[in-house]
């Protein structure tokens, strides 16, 4: 299939899905949002405007949904203190405008600047649309299930390509080069149907919600599908070869054990980890060893990827300190750390606001998860969303995803889900405050 042919097929499928949603769906906004989430699974399949500025189908859907917001039914009850956008996002808007400063030394082409600016701007319609869609409690299940299904698709297709490279002859155009690449002797899956192994970032963010689906859908067939879907995602994360993603999954399991104090789970995880390590090929062992060296800040000489990441991060941070107001959109290139890249391009003030925004949201979702009770049937989402948001922080810190819409949109989606969940818990606690039981003192016990 030629390059232009697959784009035609892709456009036809999306248009057909949009027509179905807006013509036949009872809740058009929710249906469109579900379609938007599904399109995140096609990855790098974009429509080029310039070599550096390409339009993602998902962003077209998102802007279309945002345009429908004024005509959609307004919320019946809107809390007086509820914001349309998070405070940190509102505070960043002036810095986004300043990053267009024409008086600096930024000589980056205009399309590169627009591309990076667009990736941040997409957070605005996403947070607005997500807030409206999730205003009703019954919208959470289809949205969460779609996020999980999209990631199952990523993990499954990555594994299929890895095991059966001949599928490229069956789906030419959609699967380009499924042959694995070599990294320290480890054969990394190409995820060519998506465009890059970076696809598994979404899996790390949304794999934990499978535990909520497990509670919501107790039927044996449903739970079997959820379990197999989780295994497909874990397989995809492993064969991607992303050491940082392996580390994040391990951190997620550790957090679950610490919160739930499930010692049986802890023993099971340790035994599985030991068995997996023993069965892992020597290339996998070397890959883990190189991860430990990168964390120490002393990557091995043969680890060119780790050394380049470290060098870029240090150089960008030193440049940010030397020019605290930032050099503007696209100036730093791909730093592999969004916190540092924001500091270099938008200024130290923007980076501080972004960091505090993340930490504030993390504190709020952690408080809900540790409290152990929340908004009725949504309570099962507390820990999964916390785990996903921990992954968001790791990806922002060490990977850097702001350079492409297909990499930043899943992260904005995870953040928007956490924001809306915390707000839903707060509204529920205000509407029906829980009465704490106080143990009577001995003096009053006989009264």
As averages over each run of 10 residues, the pLDDT of the chain (447 residues) reads 53 61 71 92 86 89 90 51 79 94 78 93 96 90 95 93 80 72 75 90 96 94 95 92 88 88 72 62 56 54 64 85 89 88 93 96 93 70 95 92 92 96 82 45 33
Q: Show Cβ contacts of residue 418 under 8 Å, excluding neighbours closer than 6 positions.
A: 361, 365, 385, 386, 388, 389
Could you give phi then psi for residue 182, rounded to 5 degrees?
-100, 125
- For residue 80, the model assigns a pLDDT of 40
**437 in a domain, yes or no?**
no
- For residue 156, the model assigns a pLDDT of 94
Q: Exposure of 351 by Cβ count < 10 A (0-12 exposed, 13-18 middle, 19+ buried)?
A: buried
- Going by C-alpha positions, the residue among 85, 83, 91 that lies closest to residue 354 is 91
The residue range of the domain holding 403 is 4-101+113-428
**435 in a domain, yes or no?**
no
Give the integer Cα–Cα distance in Å for 312 and 297. Answer: 13
Under a CB-based contact definition with an 8 Å cutoff, are residues 100 and 113 in contact?
A: yes
Q: Dihedral, CA atoms, 260, 263, 267, 269, nearest 10 degrees?
A: 0
Give the integer Cα–Cα distance in Å for 96 and 88. Answer: 13
**318 in a domain, yes or no?**
yes
**129 in a domain, yes or no?**
yes
- For residue 439, the model assigns a pLDDT of 39
How many C-beta neighbours within 10 Å does residue 117 have?
A: 19
**439 in a domain, yes or no?**
no
Question: What predicted TM-score, i.e. pTM, was given to this entire model?
Answer: 0.85
**315 in a domain, yes or no?**
yes
What are 314's two structure tokens?
């240090």
The total of structural domains in the chain comes to 1
**259 in a domain, yes or no?**
yes
**10 in a domain, yes or no?**
yes
């Amino acid at each position: 299939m030629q390059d232009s042919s697959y784009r035609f097929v892709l456009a036809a499928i999306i248009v057909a899905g949009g027509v179905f949603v807006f013509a036949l769906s009872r809740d058009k906004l929710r249906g469109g949002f579900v379609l938007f989430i599904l399109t995140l699974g096609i990855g790098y399949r974009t429509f080029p405007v310039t070599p550096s500025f390409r339009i993602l189908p998902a962003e077209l859907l998102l802007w279309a949904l945002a345009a429908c917001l004024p005509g959609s039914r307004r919320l019946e009850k809107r809390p007086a203190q509820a914001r349309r956008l998070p405070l940190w996002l509102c505070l960043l808007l002036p810095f986004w405008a300043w990053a267009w400063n024409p008086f600096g030394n930024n000589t980056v082409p205009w399309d590169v600047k627009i591309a990076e600016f667009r990736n941040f701007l997409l957070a605005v319609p996403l947070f607005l649309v997500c807030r409206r869609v999730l205003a009703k409690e019954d919208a959470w299940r289809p949205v969460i299930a779609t996020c999980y299904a999209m990631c199952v698709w990523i993990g499954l297709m990555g594994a299929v390509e890895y095991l059966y490279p001949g599928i490229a002859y069956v789906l030419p155009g959609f699967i380009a080069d499924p042959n694995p690449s070599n990294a320290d002797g480890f054969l990394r899956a190409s995820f060519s149907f998506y465009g890059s192994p970076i696809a598994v970032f979404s899996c790390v963010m949304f794999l934990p919600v499978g535990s909520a689906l497990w509670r919501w859908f107790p039927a044996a067939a449903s739970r079997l599908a959820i379990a197999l879907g989780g295994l497909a995602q874990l397989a995809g994360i492993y064969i991607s070869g992303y050491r940082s993603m392996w580390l994040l999954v391990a951190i997620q399991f550790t957090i679950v054990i610490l919160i739930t104090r499930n010692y049986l789970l802890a023993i099971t995880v340790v035994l599985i980890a030991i068995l997996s390590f023993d069965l892992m090929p020597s290339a996998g062992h070397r890959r883990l060893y190189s991860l430990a060296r990168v964390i120490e800040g002393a990557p091995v000489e043969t680890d060119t990827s780790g050394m380049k990441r470290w060098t870029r991060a240090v150089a960008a941070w030193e440049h940010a300190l030397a020019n605290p107001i930032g050099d503007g959109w696209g100036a730093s290139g791909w730093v592999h750390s969004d916190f540092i890249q924001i500091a270099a391009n938008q200024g130290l003030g923007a980076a501080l606001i972004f960091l505090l925004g993340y930490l504030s949201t993390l504190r709020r979702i952690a408080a809900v998860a540790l409290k152990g009770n929340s908004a009725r049937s949504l309570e099962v989402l507390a820990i999964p969303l916390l785990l996903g948001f921990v992954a968001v922080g790791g990806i922002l810190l060490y990977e850097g995803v702001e350079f492409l819409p297909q990499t930043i949109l899943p992260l904005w989606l995870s953040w928007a889900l956490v924001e809306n969940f915390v707000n839903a818990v707060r509204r529920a606690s205000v509407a029906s405050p829980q009465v704490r039981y106080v143990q009577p003192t001995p003096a009053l016990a006989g009264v």
